[in-house]
Amino acid sequence: MAHVLRAFSNGMDGVFIGACHLDECNYVTHGNFIAKNMVLLFKKIMEHIGLHPERLRMQFMSGAEANVFVESTNSFIKTIKELGPLGKNEGLDEKDIRSKLAQVEKLVPYIKITTKEKLKKRLNPDEYEGYFTRDEIAKLFDEAPSYYIQPDKCQACMTCARRCPVEAIISAKKEVHVIDQEKCIKCGTCIEVCPANFSAITKIVGHPVPPPPPEGQRAIVKKSNEKEAA
Amino acid sequence: MAPKLVEVGRHPNIEVLSYTEVKSVEGEAGNFTVLLNKKPRYINEDKCTGCNTCVEYCPVNFPDPYNQEISPNKAVHIYFAQAIPLVAYIDESCLYLKEKKCRICENVCKNNAIDLKQETERIEINIGAIILALGIEPYDARLKAEYRYGQYGNVVTSMDYERLLCSTGPYGGEILRKTDLKHPHKIAWISCVGSRQAAEGANSYCSGVCCTYAQKQVILTKDHDAEAECVIFHNDIRSFGKDFERFYQRTENLPGVRFVKSYVTIGKEFPETRNVTIKYWTPEDGIIEESFDMVVLSVGLTPPVNVKNIANTFGIELSNHDFAKLDTANPMQTTRPGIFVSGGLQGPLDIPESVFSASGASSQIGELLNFRRGKLSRERTYPVEKDVFKEEPRIGIFVCHCGANISRVVNVPDTVEYCKTLPYVVHSQQQIFSCATNSAKEITDMIKEKGLNRVVVAACSPRTLEPLFRDTLREAGINQYYLEMANIREHDSWVHSKEMDHALAKAKDIIRMSVARVAQLEPLQEYDLPVNKAALIVGGGVAGMTAALSIANQKHEVYLIEKEKDLGGTARNVYSTLDGMDVQAHLHELIRKIYAHPLIHVYHKATITRADGYIGNFVTTVKSDRGETEIKHGAAVLAIGADVYTPTEYLYGRREAVVTQLELEDRIAKRDQKVVNARNLVMIQCVGCRNEDRNYCSRVCCSESVKNALALKKSNPKMNIYVLYRDIRTYGFNEDYYREARGKSVRFIRYIPEEQPVVEATGSGSLRVTVTDQTLQKKVSIDADVLSLAAAVIPSKSTKEIAGLFKVTLSPDGYFKEAHVKLRPVDFATDGVYLCGMAHYPKFIQETINQAYGAAGRVLALLSHDLVTASGSVCVINEKACMGCGACVEVCNYGALNLKDSKLGKKAAINPVLCKGDGLCNTMCPTGAISLKHFTDAEIISEIDALTNGEQEAVKQSAAA
Amino acid sequence: MTEAAINLDESSLKLTDLVSAVGGVDVSYCYQCGKCATGCPVAYEMDLVPTQLIHAIQLGVTDLVYKSKTMWLCAGCLTCTTRCPQEIDIAEALSTIKILMAREGGTPQVPDVLKFNRSFVQNLNWFGRIYELGMVGMLKLRTGKFAQDMAMGMKMLKKDKFHLLPRIRGGSAVHQIFKRVKKQEKP
C-alpha cells in the first residue's frame, strides 16, 4: 500500500499492477491473493478521500499472455487520459490530494493491523464485490484511535518507550512519558504493555488528544507520594 | 522454459554442440567413442551476438518451419527468440549457397561473424554414457487424406494452432484463418488423429496428451474470443493426469463449449467462405452436419521420422511401435547398456513424466559413472571481493545498442549523455552488445579502472542475462548484488518502436529509476550451508526401494522407513502388468537388493515422531523395530504410496461376489474357482471417483480392468465379461490391450454419471446389474456371478501427518503437491524434500519406477555437493521495530518465520535458509520491522521517487522552455 | 412407460460368432466411435445407425438387430469399411445379417429389398444374365406395386435401356454355380 500511496502522492495520475494469475504464483505463499485484497481496500480508501478508484488497476496475466498485457495497459491508458491529471476529474487540487494522502499514509500501519484477517483471506472473484465497503472504511478513519499517556498516572517505568516499535515515546527517568503523535503508528503496543497497576495510557477516539505537558513540567506524580498525601 | 535454456547454455559442465548429428557409436558403457558431424551454420558461433541485423537485411523469404510454414522467415535467422545458443544460422534457401550471389549479410554484420565458407566439422568425443532425448514428432496428418489437411485451407493441425496462439507466431498471437486472415468464431477439434487406429498409416496406441491439450487450446481460444464456439469431437476423454479431470470440467463449463462423443467425417468446403462442414452422430440427435470456421486436428505423437536410422547408429532395438525397446523394470534402459532414454522416445509422454524420466536417466548414469564423479567438472573461480560498503556510490552505466534492437528506436548517445547528469554517476558509455564476451570484459575493466562500486546495465530483461552480468561484477571483485539492469529493450524499444521521442524519454526515466535504486543497494552474501550426505526415504514400496537403491548405488547412506513389518507396499497385491512384468519376482529382487546393500538401513513398523531442520541438515526422529532413533540426513524422499477406496456402493461388503479389482487380481492369481468359473462377470469403472467426493481420475483402473479381463479370458475363454465404463482411459501403449480385450469378446458398455448402474441381489445368488447402454439408448441387464468394482485410488492415510512433519503442501485431492506440476514434478517447494510414486498421484509401476529414479536424481544433485547455496535476497528483522503481532508468521508458508520470546515481549525471528524472498511478510508487517534484502522499502521508494520527481523536473524544464 | 431391460444372457456371444463364421467379420473390435455412421450416405433414414447395429450384434440382442432397417438400407458403398479405425468390414457384417435373416426366414423391416434381392438372384439363376423386364416383372409380382416406376420404365424402354426379350448367355454355367453353392451352404 505504501508504494501505491507514494506514487499517487508524487502526483502520478494512475497506477497499474500486473500480477500472475491467482493459483499460479511461483511462491507457495500466493501473495497475489493478498495483493488483490489490498487493491480492493485501497480503492475504497481512494473513494473515501475523493479520488477516482479507476486510477488504480490490477490485472492478472501470465508471462505468455502478451496480448492481455497490451490490451489492458492500452485500455488503462485510455481510462487515465479520460480522467485527466490527478485530481482534475475529482475537483481536488494538488495540495488537497497531498494532504489527504499524507493522512492515509500515517494510518497505514493501523489499517494493516485492523484489517489483517481480511487481507489474508484468499477470495474467489465472486466475493470481491462488497468485501470492503465505504462505510467500513469511513468507520476505520473516523474511529482511528489516538493514544495518550495520562500525566497523573505515568510512573516513568520506561516500558512503553522500550517496546514502542517506532520509538515514538519521549521518555526519561522520573519524567512523564509523552507520545509523539506524529510518529505514533497507533499499534496499541504501549497500552498493552503499560503495567496494569499504572494503566496510564488511554485510547481516545473521536476527539483530538490533549496536548502533552510542556517540557520542564513533566515530573511524575509518584503513587507512593499520593498515598502519603491522602 | 527460457531460464532453463540459459542455465544449460552457461553451465560450466555442459558443452552445447548445436546443429550436430551422431555418425557412429563404438565402445561400451563407461567408454564410448562417438563420432559427430557438426553441420555448418555459416556463422561463427563465438562472434555472433544474436543482434538480428543480418536477418533484417537478408533478401530471401521462405516458409518458416518454426511457425509450421504458415509465415515466412529469412534465409539467415535465429530459429526462435529464446534459442540457445543465441546464434543465427543460414538455411539452404540462401542465395549464396544456391547461386553464389548476394552476400549482403556478410557486409552488414558488425562483428564479422558470417562465414559462408564453413564446412561440416567432424568431432570425436570420448564419453561414458549416452542419453537419447530425441523427443517426439506430431503425426503427419497428410497421411490420411480423409482429414483434408493441405487440401482445405481451414483444416489445421493442433501444432499449427499452437503457433497461431503464440505471440511469436505467424500472426503475432492473433488466431486468424490462412484463407482470409479473419478470426474464426466457430472451431472444431477432432481427437485421435493418427492414434487409436488399427489401420495402416496411423498408430494403434493412444497418444495420451491430445485430449488435454485440446482442452487447453479451447480455454486459450476463449481467452482470445469470449464469444467463440468450440466443439471437441472425441471417443473417450482421456483426462487421467493429476488435476486433469478438473481441467476437463473447467473447459466444459465455459459458455459455448461442447464435448461430443463421436468420431467425424470431414464434409465439404464452401467455396466462398472456405468454411468446412463436419458430420457427426449422437444417439439423441442422429446425424448432423455442421459448418465450422476452422477445424483443428488433434494429431498424436510419433517417434522421430528417422528413428530407424538412429536406432541403427546407436545399436539399440526398437519396439513394435518404433519407440525405444525398454526393460519393463527399467523404462529408461535401452537394449544397449550405457545408453538410456528420457522423454518421448519411451513412448507418448506428458511433460512431467518426461522431466522425471530425464532426472531418472541421469541418476542411472550417476550410478554407472560414480567412480569418476567430479573428475572432469569445472568450477568458476573469482577474485577476492572488495569491501566497498563504506564508500560513496560510484555508479557506472553501460547503455547497450543491442545491435540495432535498442539503438534503432532509442537514441543511445543522447541517453549516455543524460546518464552523466544523474547523481553519483561517474562513468557512462555505450556498447554495441553488452553481453558479448569483449563487452563484458570491458565492464570488468572499467570497474577496476574507475573504481566503480555500482553498475547499471541498460539493455534487455534481467530474465535473460542477469546471471551473466552478476558474474561480470564478481570477476571484477565487486559484490554481485551491486548490479541493476534497466530494461530498455522489452520495456521500451521493442514496444514503442513507433514513438521514438517518447521511447527516448522513457529510456531516460527507466535508467534514472535504476540509478536511484542501485545507489541504495547493499552487498549481500549468499549462504553456504554444509550438506549431510545421507538420505531419508519414507515408504518402503516400489517407489521408496527403487529410489533407495539408486541413491545408495551412488555411495550415499540411505535410511529407509516403512510403517508395515514388510517391505513392498501395494505391489505385494499386484501380480502382473499389462506388458508382462512378473511383479512379484521384481518385488522380491528389489527387496533382496535392499537388504543386501551395506549402505541401506531399513526400519520396519516405523513411525516418525519428529522432523526438524532444513535442506542439507535435517534431523528426523523415528520410532521403529529398532527403538527410537534420531536420523541426521541431507535430503528426504516421501514415497508413502496410496490406498484403495472401500466402496459403499453396489453391495460391496454385503455380498461376497462383489470385489474390488485388486481383490479380483488376487483371486485370479490364486485360481479362486468361484471367479475363474464364473459365467458372467461384470466390471464397473469409476467407483468412488470422478464424482463430488473425489473429483479426480484414478488413472490406473481402466488398464487394471483390461488386465484382469485378459487374464480371465486366458483361463476361461467362455466367460462373458462386461465392462461398464464412462470413458475408457487405457492411454499410451495400453490402448493395444484394450483392443486385444475387445478382440477376445470382452464387451464394453458405456454409461453416464446421471444414470449409474443399479445392482440388485437376485434370489438365486447372482447379482442383477442393470445399466442404460448409451450407444443403443436402451436398458440392459446382466446376471453376474461376480461383480468387480474399479474402486478409486485414494491418498494414503498418513499423507496429512507426513505433510505436516516435513512442512510440505497437499493438492486439493489430498495427494502431495509438487513444486511445479510440469517443470519440477519430484520436488517440493520446500527445499531438500522430494517425492515419488503414488504419494504424488496414482500411477503404474513403470511410471513409479521412472519417477523414483527421477527423485533419486534430484537427491543426488543435492547430496553430491558439499555445500548448498541459498540466495542472498532474504528477509531480515529489526527486532526493535517488531511488535510481535505475528502477521508475518501467519502468511509464510515456507515456515521461515516464527515468534520467539524475548525480554521485550514476542519478537519475530527468521531462518534465512528457508526464506524464499517472496516478501509477503513485508506487506503484512504494520511497523516495517521486517524487510526483504535487495527489495527494501527504501530501494523501491527511491525508484518511485526518481520516476516522479524526475518527471516533474522534465515538466518544469518544458514549461520553462 | 419405462421399457424393461434387455437381459444379456449367456448366449450373447452367439450372434457375434455367427457373423464371424458366416461373414468372416469379427465385430468385437468395434469401440463405438461412430465414424461409420457419419460417413454413411443413407444413415439418416436408419432407425439404428451402423455403429448401433454393430454394438447390438456384440451384445447379442438378436431381436433388436433383426427388427432394424439398417442392413436393408445399406447401399454397399463401403465408406464405413474404408474409414473404420478398427478395420472392421461393417458393410460385410450388415450383409451377413441379411443372409442370416434370409436363411432363417426372418421378416425384413424393408421387405422390398429382400424381394428385389430374390427377384434379381432368381432371374440370374434362370437366364445367366439379368433380364431386366423379367426381373422387374417378378419384383412387381412379389411386391404387388404394379404402378410404381412405370413412367420411368417407359422412358427407359424408349431409350433402349433394356430389352423386351431375354438374352440367355451362359445360363447353364451360372445355374451350375448356383447349384454348387446351394449344396455347400447346406448345414
Strand B535-538, strand B635-638: pairing:
parallel
Give the whole-number percent of chain A exceeding pLDDT 70: 96
Do C95 and C116 have their domain in common?
no
The string of pLDDT tens digits covering residues B272-300 is 999 999 999 999 999 999 999 999 999 99
Whose cell is 463430488? That residue is B692
Cell 464434409 identifies what position?
Answer: B267
Distance CA B657, CA B782 (A): 14
Find, in chain B, the residue whose alpha carbon is nearest to that of C82: B199
Residues B431 and B490 sit within 8 Å (Cβ to Cβ): no
Q: Which of C67, C82, C104 is the last residue of a domain?
A: C104
Contact list in C for residue B781 (CB cut-off 8 A) is 5-8
Residue C115 in domain? yes
Band the pLDDT of B874: cuts 50, 70, 90.
Answer: very high
According to the model, what pLDDT value does residue B158 have? 97
Phi, psi (5° rounding) for residue A171? -145, 155
Q: Where are the domains of chain B?
A: 2-128, 137-302, 395-522, 535-641+796-867, 645-793, 874-932
- Is C62 part of any domain? yes
Average pLDDT over residues B463-482: 88
Q: Could you list the residue range(s) of the whole structural domain that residue C27 is in?
A: 10-104
Q: What percent of chain A has pLDDT over 90?
A: 59
* Interface contact B945-A6, CB threshold 8 A: yes
For B394-447, the pLDDT digits (tens) are: 999 999 988 777 888 999 999 999 999 999 999 999 998 787 767 888 899 999
Average pLDDT of chain A is: 89
B945·A35 Cβ contact <8 A: no
Q: Pick the residue of B289, B747, B749, B752 with the most C CBs within 10 A to test the interface with C by mutation.
A: B747
A213 has pLDDT over 90: no
Task: Give the mean pLDDT of B179-201.
Answer: 94
Lowest mean pLDDT among A147-151, B615-619, C171-175: C171-175
The residues near B384 (Cβ < 8 Å, ≥ 6 apart) are B477
Region A110-120: mean pLDDT is: 92
Q: Note the pLDDT of residue B933.
A: 93
Query: For position B382, what pLDDT does the model report?
Result: 86
**Which of these three, C104, C136, C162, is where a domain ends?**
C104
For residue B181, give the amino acid letter.
Answer: L
pLDDT tens, B47-77? 887 778 888 889 988 888 888 888 889 989 8
In this model, does residue A226 exceed pLDDT 60? no
Domain positions in chain A are 2-142, 146-229
CB contact under 8 A, C85 and B202: yes
> Cα distance from A216 to chain B (closest Cα, Å)?
28
3-class DSSP state of C140: helix
Backbone phi, then psi, for B428, in 5-degree steps? Answer: -145, 130
Q: Which residue of A has its CA nearest to B829?
A: A28
Regions in chain C scoring below 50 on pLDDT: 1
Residues of A in contact with B818 (CB under 8 A): none
Residue B736 DSSP SS3: helix
Contacting C residues, span 48-107, partner chain B, CB-CB under 8 Å: 48-49, 51-52, 55-56, 58-59, 61, 64, 83-87
Q: Specify the CATH class of B395-522 in words.
A: alpha beta
Count of helix runs (H) and strand runs (E) in chain C:
11, 1
Cα B667 from Cα B673, distance rounded (Å): 9
| B319 min Cα distance to partner chain C (Å) | 21
Please give, one letter per residue, the 3-state secondary structure of B402-470: CCCCCCCCCCHHHHHHHHHCCCCEEEEEEECCCCCHHHHHHHHHHHHHHCCCEEEEEECCHHHHHHHHH
B229 neighbors B187 (Cβ within 8 angstroms): yes
**Mean per-residue pLDDT for B115-129?**
93
CB-facing half-sphere around the CA of B913: CA atoms within 13 A: 16
Binned at pLDDT 50, 70 and 90, residue A229 comes out as: very low
Distance CA B179, CA B181 (A): 6
Confirm if B640 and B816 have CB atoms less than 8 A apart. Answer: no
| Partner-chain contact A7 B944, CB within 8 Å | yes
Cβ B891–A189 below 8 Å, yes or no?
no
* Residue C69 placed within a domain: yes
**Total-model pTM:** 0.83
Q: For position B168, what pLDDT does the model report?
A: 74
pLDDT for residue B615 is more than 60: yes
pLDDT at position A228, please? Answer: 46
* pLDDT given at position B961: 45
Nearest-Cα distance to chain A for B287, in Å, is 39
Q: Which residues in C lie closer than 8 A to residue B680 (C-beta atoms)?
A: 10
> Please, what sign has the CA dihedral across residues B477, B483, B488, B491?
positive
Mutate to test the interface with C, among B191, B265, B752 (most CBs of C within 10 A): B265
The mean pLDDT value of chain B amounts to 92
Among the residue ranges A197-201, B556-560, C85-89, C142-146, the one predicted with the least confidence is C142-146
Question: Strand locations in B855-951, DSSP E?
Answer: 867-870, 875-877, 897-902, 905-910, 930-932
Yes or no: domain B535-641+796-867 corresponds to CATH 3.50.50.60 = yes
Q: What is the CA radius of gyration of chain A?
A: 23
- C17, C96: one domain: yes
Q: Counting one residue from A and one from B, how many pairs have CB atoms under 8 Å apart? A: 100
Q: Which residues of B touch C61 (CB under 8 A)?
A: 776, 780
Q: How far apart are CA B240 and CA B780, in angstroms?
A: 28
Closest chain B CA to residue C89: B199
Residue A63: pLDDT over 80:
no
- Pairing state of beta strands B294-299 and B89-90? unpaired
Query: Is 90 exceeded by the pLDDT of residue B224?
Result: no
Interchain proximity A165–B929, CB inside 8 Å = yes
* In a shared domain, residues C21 and C100: yes
Q: Do domains B137-302 and B645-793 have the same CATH topology?
A: yes
- Could you tell me the fold of the domain covering A146-229? Alpha-Beta Plaits (3.30.70)
Total count of domains within chain C: 2
Answer yes or no: is pLDDT of A120 > 50: yes
Average pLDDT over residues B523-551: 95
Tell me the per-residue pLDDT of B759-801, one tens digit each, with 9 for 90 and over.
Answer: 999 887 789 999 999 999 999 999 999 999 999 999 999 999 9
User: What's the pLDDT band for B959 if we cut at 50, 70, 90?
Assistant: low
Q: Smallest Cα–Cα separation from B939: which of B871, B873, B894, B870? A: B873
Amino acid C1: pLDDT: 46
Task: Write the single-letter amino acid at B654.
Answer: R
Q: What kind of fold does domain B645-793 have according to CATH?
A: FAD/NAD(P)-binding domain (3.50.50)
> Which residues in chain C belong to E strands, given as ranges?
6-7
Q: Which residue of B has its CA nearest to C58?
A: B747
User: Which residue in chain C has the smallest CA separation from B777?
Assistant: C52
The verdict on residue C5 lying in a domain is no
Query: Which chain C residue shows the shortest CA-CA distance from B717?
Result: C13
Nearest by CB to residue B775, choosing from C44, C51, C84, is C51
Q: Collect all residues with Cβ–Cβ distance below 8 Å to B70 and sequence separation of at least 6.
A: B63, B64, B160, B163, B164, B169, B170, B178
Q: What is the pLDDT of residue B821?
A: 87
C35 with C82, same domain: the answer is yes
Question: In this structure, which topology does domain B874-932 adopt according to CATH?
Answer: Alpha-Beta Plaits (3.30.70)
pLDDT at A218: 82
pLDDT in tens, B649-696: 999 999 999 999 999 999 999 999 999 999 999 999 999 999 999 999
Q: What's the confidence (pLDDT) of residue B541?
A: 97
Is this complex's ipTM strictly greater than 0.90? yes
Share of chain B above pLDDT 70, in %: 98
Class of domain B137-302: alpha beta
pLDDT for position B951: 64
Query: Where residue C60 sits, what CATH number does that domain have?
Result: 1.10.1060.10
Q: What are phi and psi of B114, to 5 degrees?
A: -85, 130
Separation in Å, CA B685 to CA A189, B307, B722, B751, B911: 61, 37, 11, 10, 49
Residue-wise pLDDT tens digits, B714-724: 999 999 999 99
DSSP state string for B571-597: GGG--B-TT--BHHHHHHHHHHHHHH-
